[in-house]
Amino acid sequence: MKGRLIPVLVGSMTAAMLVIVAVQVSWLESSAKLRKEVFDQSIEQSLQLVANWLTATHLDDPQAEDPQLLRTDELAPEERLIVRRMEALPMDSLLRLAFQEQGIEADPVFGAYNRYGQPVYLLDDAEPFNDALLARGYSVALGTLQLRVHFPKLGRSLIGQMLGAFALSVMMMLLIAGVFGYTLFAIQRTKRTDRLQRDLVNNLTHELKTPISSIGLASEALSDPAFDEESRKHYLGLIREENKRLGVLVENVLRASLSENGAMRLYVQSLNLHDLVKGVVKNMAVKFHKQGVKVDLDLQASNPNLVADRIHLTNILFNVIDNAVKYSGEDPHIVIRTAQIPDGVSLDIQDHGVGIAKEHLGKVFERLYRVPTGNVHDVKGFGLGLSYVKNVVERHGGSVQIESRVGEGTTLKLLLPFECQPDKI
């Protein structure tokens, strides 16, 4: 059921997101349509007002009735009278005044036309828009003439009026998309974390099972009075070794937990990195001998003296070398190198083992991550070690790099600065 829940949730969220976007788009379209209707009504009212001004009877000009003037004119007397009024009045200002009373700021072009669609009053700047005036212009009757008005930038003007609402709508959709994307990311991350935690529990159970069983069997054997002193010493030694192993397992988990939650503290002191490496290799000599591990030291750094935390550096050396041994295959060969860099020392730990595929290299430093091998128990570990290594090195102000080829081996490069400042940590 849990496996089906996430796809259902993702599908539901996707559908909800599409519905919200559709509602936003529909709202914008309705808002644009409503604004266009209001604009049309305002224009009609403004043009009617202008028409009333132009056809007012108290503005009649007696000279317009001169028959000698009208006999040579194509216009009827009342049409000529209106044209003369348009020529006498500042029509641009008159129209803008009427539009501003309705809250319209768009710039118009205009002209007067007879019943045959021929212009009887058309300014030079309006001539390029003659076809638009006839096809799409707003009109009002001036007796037998028509006053037509067209707004070349009407679309831009309406968009400008809706810019605030449009921007708000876009921001809302982007916010919803961001929340949706983050939710999907969080779901995937939670799903992956759950899987990694299950793997950790399985690995931890597997790792603890062997020493607990060994201690239990040794304890039962010691209770048998038939065992001689040499056998008792053997089983006591077994109990001590398995107890140490349990302590190391718990230590690894606690150490990784401290580094993850930021509770790790560094207590720096002067130390020689070469001496530290040699000491770790010496302490692991018994393990190397049992597993047939060959270790070569190539310590070439001219100045291996650092100011760092001895305990944490020792821990990461044990961890990295132990990893190199685990993944070295049947004939383990480890090479440990140092080299001088301008601001510190480079420490390389190289194995000639199974290697890591490219698609996993970027994830090996993630907490709980283990490179898939087909069998989760064929190599011991919890996926905590390299996360701890990276955390410690970065807390010292250094960095970690990894290079690997499948079937050829892996090289882990630790770049350590000369001095770590604990007050900056």
The DSSP secondary structure of 41-104, one letter per residue, reads HHHHHHHHHHHHHHT-GGG--GGGG-HHHHTT-SS-HHHHHHHHHHHHS-HHHHHHHHHHHTT-
Q: Where are the alpha helices (DSSP H) in 223-341?
A: 229-261, 273-283, 285-291, 310-326
What percent of the chain is predicted at pLDDT more than 90? 11
CATH 1.10.287.130, the chain: domain bounds = 163-260
Q: At what angle do helices 229-261 and 163-222 cross, to 10 degrees?
A: 170
Evaluate whether 349 touches 321 at the Cβ level (below 8 Å): yes
The CATH number of domain 265-424, selected from 1.25.40.10, 3.30.1120.130, 3.30.565.10, 3.30.420.270: 3.30.565.10
Two structure tokens written together for 354? 């199974």
pLDDT at 379: 47
DSSP 8-state secondary structure symbol assigned to residue 419: B
Single-letter code of the amino acid located at 48: Q
> β-strands 109-113, 145-150: how paired?
antiparallel
Single-letter code of the amino acid located at 150: H
Q: At what angle do helices 229-261 and 385-395 cross, to 10 degrees?
A: 50
Buried b (16+ CB within 10 A) or exposed e, 110-130: bbbbbeeeebbbbeeebeebb
For 101-111, what is each residue's pLDDT tens digit? 887 777 888 88
Residue 391 has pLDDT above 70, yes or no: yes
Q: Mean pLDDT throughout 163-167?
A: 69
For residue 102, how far is the Cα from the chain centroid? 47
pLDDT at 306: 93
pLDDT at 336: 94
Residue 339 has pLDDT above 90, yes or no: yes
Helices (H) and strands (E) in the chain, counts: 13, 11
pLDDT at 152: 82
pLDDT at 305: 94
Q: Secondary structure of the chain: what % helix, strand, coil (to 5)?
A: 60, 15, 25
pLDDT at 346: 94
Q: At what angle do helices 91-101 and 2-54 cross, to 10 degrees?
A: 130
- d(CA 245, CA 73) in angstroms, rounded, equals 117
- For residues 216, 222, 228, 234, the Cα torsion angle rounded to the nearest 10 degrees is 40
Residue 68 has pLDDT above 60, yes or no: no
Residue 263 has pLDDT above 70, yes or no: no
Q: Mean pLDDT throughout 255-278?
A: 75
Q: Which CATH class is domain 163-260?
A: mainly alpha
- d(CA 423, CA 425) in angstroms, rounded, equals 6
H helix or E strand, kind and range, residue 200: helix 163-222
pLDDT at 414: 92
421 vs 54, higher pLDDT: 54
- d(CA 108, CA 149) in angstroms, rounded, equals 6
- d(CA 273, CA 296) in angstroms, rounded, equals 16
Q: Calculate the average pLDDT of the chain.
A: 77
CATH 3.30.565.10, the chain: domain bounds = 265-424
Q: Of 113-122, 218-227, 280-289, 382-391, where does mean pLDDT reach its minimum?
A: 382-391
Residue 164 has φ and ψ, to the nearest 5°, of -65, -45
